[in-house]
Amino acid sequence: MGVLDGVRVIEIAGIGPGPFCGMLLADMGADVILIERRNGKSSDPAELGKNAIVNRGKRSLALDLKDARAIEAVLRLSERSDALIEGMRPGVMERLGMGPSVCLARNPRLIYGRMTGWGQDGPLAHAAGHDVNYIALSGALWFSGQPGEPPMTPPTLVGDLGGGALYLCVGILAAIIRARGEGVGQVIDAAIVDGSANLMNLLLSAHAAGVQPLERGRGLLDGPHWYGSYECADGHFISLGALEPQFNALLLEKLGLGDDAEFAHPYDSRRWGRLRERLTALFTEHSRQHWVDLLEGTDACFAPVLTPTEAMTHPHMAARGVYSKRDGIMQAAPAPRFSATPAGDPGKVPQRGEHSIEILRAAGFGDTEIEHLLTGDLEPK
């Protein structure tokens, strides 16, 4: 159960943002039918198998998509579905016989979600790429780093998940609302270059206002001594984000620097380098726990930098139940939270083809058809 109870989604197995979008929908209660390869391994070098948290809560149907009858089975399933998700290169689904025009002809209310890095058109549409390439081209990688250093790539979060999966999910939900009201489906072109560029709008606002220059390390969110992370005496790290004057003043007071004239002008970028050096030296005098005891829970805008395992047991995260283990796998709880239709515990990760028979029978397939689809035999044994 969940806020999307009654919504059915067909997901063509892929890697990265498409499966993550499917997980978000499943977490919210949608019936997500994952179409996996019947035989063979995924093209993903990081084959996750039973550890694929992105597949939790989904039902798995294993088919050979080189078989025309398997293609017909997917099309029949799409007739009973609200949305379809695919993450192939442009043109692949068309060559398989499951392109948007075919699917929408079978189900005019269908939302056909296409997840790619470069988009369905443009000079790079057919080129290979990954998260780092997409956010590099969109400009989203630019501010991640300091002057004189290469930009530091945040693994998969900004591009695949932020600019990709989340935008595809929002698009699908918005289009389902329209389809249910007007009976009209459509195609969603969710490109990571588009989404990650759209994520830049807040920084572009700051740039237009003159507080976020294009020179890295000179803006309010990537340069000040009071915004960033520091190493402690024990090799652990802490983070600061004391942007507003009142929070900045409290931070300095807590650190014993409230009367220090050098820190009296927190927004003067000419001082940031020297003041960062001073804070670097200060924080290496004590352990991370010392700074936690001094600053956590105050308005100094502070938090320790935790590993995911540490985060799981932190009092705040534990109180909210953000992390848990299921079948021995650490994973984060569904988000966001709904008051009237809570998501409940995440579903388990299905085995490949675990639900094939029940899905096909519910869709009206006979025993002979099911045997062929699951074995490839032309005639039942």
Catalytic residues: 130, 160
Nearest in space to 251 (alpha carbons), one of 296, 315, 305, 304: 296
Nearest in space to 187 (alpha carbons), one of 251, 126, 110: 110
**Does the CA dihedral 14-20-21-22 come out positive or negative?**
positive
Distance CA(324)–CA(309), nearest Å, equals: 10
Task: Tell me the three state secondary structure of residue 187.
Answer: strand
For residue 348, CA distances in Å to 12, 52, 53 come to 19, 10, 8
Query: For residue 306, which phi and psi values (nearest 5 degrees)?
Result: -110, 150
Task: Tell me the three state secondary structure of residue 180.
Answer: helix
Tokens 């002008």 -> residue: 265
Half-sphere exposure of 93 (CA within 13 A, CB side): 26
Distance CA(266)–CA(76), nearest Å, equals: 63
Distance CA(88)–CA(93), nearest Å, equals: 7
DSSP string covering 277-342, please? HHHHHHHTTS-HHHHHHHHTTSTT-EEEE--HHHHHHSHHHHHHT-EEEETTEEEEPPSS--SSS-
Q: In what order do the strands lie in the sheet with 83-86?
A: 59-63, 31-37, 8-12, 83-86, 111-116, 186-191
Task: Tell me the three state secondary structure of residue 104.
Answer: helix
Nearest in space to 157 (alpha carbons), one of 146, 143, 141: 141
DSSP state of 214: S
DSSP state of 217: T
Instruction: Please measure the distance between the N-terminal and C-terminal CA atoms of the chain and give it in whole angstroms.
Output: 39
